[in-house]
Structure 1
Amino acid sequence: MTKTAWVFPGQGSQEVGMTADLLDSPAAKQRFEEAEKILGWSVIEVCQSDEEKLSNTLYTQPCLYVVESILVDALREKGHQPNLVAGHSLGEYVALYAAGVIDFESGLRLVKRRAELMSEAAGGQMAALMGFDRDQLEKKVEETADVVLANDNSVAQVVISGTPEGVDEVISNIKTKRAVKLKVSGAFHSHLMAPAAAEFAKVLEGVDFAEAKVPVLSNIEPLPVTDPATLKERLSKQMTGSVRWREIMLKLPELKIEKVVEIGPGKVLTGLIKRTCPDIGLENINTLAQIEG
């Protein structure tokens, strides 16, 4: 049997209309109704609205969690199970759901609070950098106050996070093929999120984590574990810690993973894996039709 990992994209992968294929499914309809009671707004309506609203952190994160969780449920219904799971930033919450660590409602309540706290964050800046000298970048980040490597996505693409002044200082002093400032309210995955992380920790403390049914590679520590206490501890550090996606990808062949299925909108993660681990088979699942097929 092919050893398979399921991976889940995070904020930035959302697409207007990403619920369209799910609307005729009774099971999906029930999930949408559950979500509306918890959130106080309709995931379906937001996903069918304009791009600006869907891209608002407050809405983006819950919408992605709900849509990706529904796809997980549909795959399970067909008898599919992974050997390993991982998610990029917000996607880690879906990975924990897929591994049976948290139930749908607990996960959505966590994501709702996370989104609220992150959308309230202000005064920070993030920028994606492509094509750079890693040694030069890491040296400059280390020398610059209030800037960190927030997302280590691949050898050729990272995201830095920090104060606007610090981010500008790094961008203006290293050579890159491209540098793009992200439309976010705060310096996510940096120490500047500490107040929000402390508030979130209070919510996380009250949620029960179960033993994972399959190993999880966490953003903060990409080593496979199933222990609930370890997974909760790692998740508690995620808001201020770096997303170590490059290391997660490199761990896949070490763990004998032969195929990766990206579950959710877009193909960002499979694109990164294709360039990093070319021998691993890849598949994208973003509609119920693909699962039925």
Structure 2
Amino acid sequence: MMKTAWVFPGQGSQVLGMGVDLLTIDSAKATFDRASVILGWSVLDVCQNDEVKLANTRYTQPSLYVIESILVDLLRQRGLKPDIVAGHSLGEYVALYAAGVFDFETGLELVKRRAELMDLASQGGMTALLGFDREQLEAAIADTEDVVIANDNSTAQVVISGTAAGIAAVVAKIKVKRAIPLNVSGAFHSPMMATAAAEFGKLLAPIDFHDAKIPVLSNVAPIPTTDARKLKAQLDSQITGAVRWREISLQLPELGIERAIEVGPGKVLGGLIKRTCESISVAQVSGISDLESIG
């Protein structure tokens, strides 16, 4: 049987209408109802009717977690199981749920608080860079204060995070095909998120993690592990740490993975994996029609 990775997208992959088709499945409807009790608002209402709210971190992250977790449950009901899991930023919480590290409710409580803390961040920003020389970029960042690589997505795409002045200085020092400022409230995945990370750490500390049933590739340490203590420590450092997705992609063929299934809206992760590792086939599960065709 083909060795398969399940990968879970994060903030930025949301789209109005996502998850609505799942309402026809009783178990999915029950999960949406459980989520409403925890969140105090309806994921379905936001995803169906409010594009402005859906773009807001407080609503984006829990909505993605709930919908992707439902898709995990539905894949399991069809007897499917991955050989390894990974998620991009917020998506790592779904990966941990899929691996049995914590239950749905625990994950959602964590995501809810994470989203609130990140939404309160008001310092700095993020800019996506496409088409650049990596050595030149790394040299510019090393020579510039208050800016880091936040998302190392592929050889041709990164996101830098930091102060407005730091980001502008880096962009001015390098040749880049496109520099796209992101609509976020702060400098996510950078040291500027230290206050939010400290508050989140207080919530995370007493929560029990279980050893994973499936190896997980974490954002900050893309080496497969099932160890609960390591997974918890890695998640604890994720808000300030970089998303090392390029390294995660490169790990997949080394681990014998032949196919990656992106579980959630959009095709961003599948595209990044395919551009990094041409030998790996990619597929998507974002709704009922995809569930019927996957196997």
Coarse TM-score class (shorter-chain normalised): over 0.9
* CA apart distance, 1:165: 1.0
Aligned residues with identical type, % of pairs: 63
Aligned equivalents of 1:59 and 1:244: distance in 2?
A: 25
TM-superposition CA deviations, 1:98-125 (whole Å, max 9, x none):
0000100000000000000000000211
TM-superposition CA deviations, 1:177-212 (whole Å, max 9, x none):
000000000000000000100000011112111110
Report if the CA contact (8 A) 2:220-2:244 is conserved.
yes
Aligned equivalents of 2:252 and 2:19: distance in 1?
A: 30
Pairs within 5 Å for 1:136-285: 136-285=136-285
* CA apart distance, 1:86: 0.2
* CA apart distance, 1:262: 0.4
Pairs within 5 Å for 1:110-125: 110-125=110-125
* CA apart distance, 1:85: 0.2
* CA apart distance, 1:52: 2.1
Give the 3-state SS of the residue equivalent to 1:275 in structure 2. Answer: helix
* CA apart distance, 1:50: 3.2
Question: What RMSD in Å do the two structures reach over aligned CA positions?
Answer: 0.7
Give the 3-state SS of the residue equivalent to 1:195 in structure 2. Answer: helix
Report if the CA contact (8 A) 2:123-2:192 is conserved.
no
Query: Which 5+ residue runs of structure 2 have no aligned equivalent?
Result: none
How many residue pairs are counted as aligned between the two chains? 293
Aligned equivalents of 1:124 and 1:67: distance in 2?
A: 30
TM-superposition CA deviations, 1:143-190 (whole Å, max 9, x none):
111100000000000000001111111112211000000000000000
Query: Which 5+ residue runs of structure 1 have no aligned equivalent?
Result: none
TM-score, structure 1 normalization: 0.99
TM-score, structure 2 normalization: 0.98
* CA apart distance, 1:275: 0.8
Matched with 1:291 is 291
* CA apart distance, 1:292: 2.6
Matched with 2:108 is 108
Runs of 4+ in 1 over 6 A off after TM superposition: none
